[in-house]
Amino acid sequence: MLHDQLFPSINFLGVPELMEQPSIPIQENVPSWDKNRLGTYPCCHFYQHDSRFSKLMTHPNTLPKSILYPFEINATIYPEYPLALVFYQLYTKRWISRYWQQQGRKVIVDLSIPIEHLELAYLGVPRTQNDFCIKLFKDDAPFLDNYLFALSQYTDRALVNLYIFSGKWIHSHIKTIQQYRNLNPLYFDSNYYIN
């Protein structure tokens, strides 16, 4: 099923352009795909090993209809990946997101990408996108400002929601995050509960 339909694209790689959509103010806990396969909750994240959602990556139509606000699939990209594989992973996750949008779902865009490939994180993402998510590890702390600056410069919105999935270490970086006035951070701990 994947890739048998082409979506509009304005970038040189043909990565599908996501549709504009209204903001999605999620104020509840966000379960993982493993914990929400039956669609008990209206949203879920994919910050897990790719093998946990490999079937969904090839058959995105199997996402339960009750999941109205899926977080974009986080197709793993490592710093040492060759560019061809990085582009393939980006294409795959944006294709799936666009497919879900065509079904009437509102997708939260995933920006989790190694700092080495940060300039590619926004391929296919409209500047008017309202909702983003990112999974940060403690090793990402030195680059936190890079991720936030890139998003604050990319968006055309006065305020965007940024769902930050991390450990408790993020709280020592609140001042760095607060300097970006156009970002509305929502924090989730390593178990993906609002903290």
Contact call for residues 68 and 106 (beta carbons, < 8 A): yes
* Of residues 107 and 25, more confidently modeled: 107
Is there a domain that residue 2 lies in?
A: no
**Mean pLDDT, range 132-149, rounded to an integer:** 93
Is there a domain that residue 194 lies in?
A: no
Between CA 11 and CA 166 the distance in angstroms is: 31
Is there a domain that residue 13 lies in?
A: no
Contact call for residues 89 and 76 (beta carbons, < 8 A): yes
Total structural domains within the chain: 1
What are the b/e assignments for 62-84, b being 16+ CB within 10 Å? ebeeebbbbbbbbbebeeebeee
Residue (of 72, 42, 69) closest to 56 by Cα position: 72
Kindly report the backbone phi and psi dihedral angles of residue 130, in degrees, each rounded to the nearest multiple of 5, phi listed first: -95, -30
Provide the domain limits for residue 52. 33-188
Average pLDDT score, the chain: 89
**Mean pLDDT, range 124-144, rounded to an integer:** 93
In the predicted model, is pLDDT for residue 193 greater than 70? no
Residue (of 74, 156, 59) closest to 107 by Cα position: 74
Beta bridge partners of residue 186, listed in sequence order:
163
Is there a domain that residue 104 lies in?
A: yes
Is there a domain that residue 21 lies in?
A: no
Is there a domain that residue 156 lies in?
A: yes
In the predicted model, is pLDDT for residue 149 greater than 90? yes
What pLDDT score was predicted for residue 24? 82
Contact call for residues 180 and 149 (beta carbons, < 8 A): yes
Write the pLDDT tens digit of every residue in 19-66: 999 988 787 788 888 888 888 889 999 988 888 888 888 899 999 999
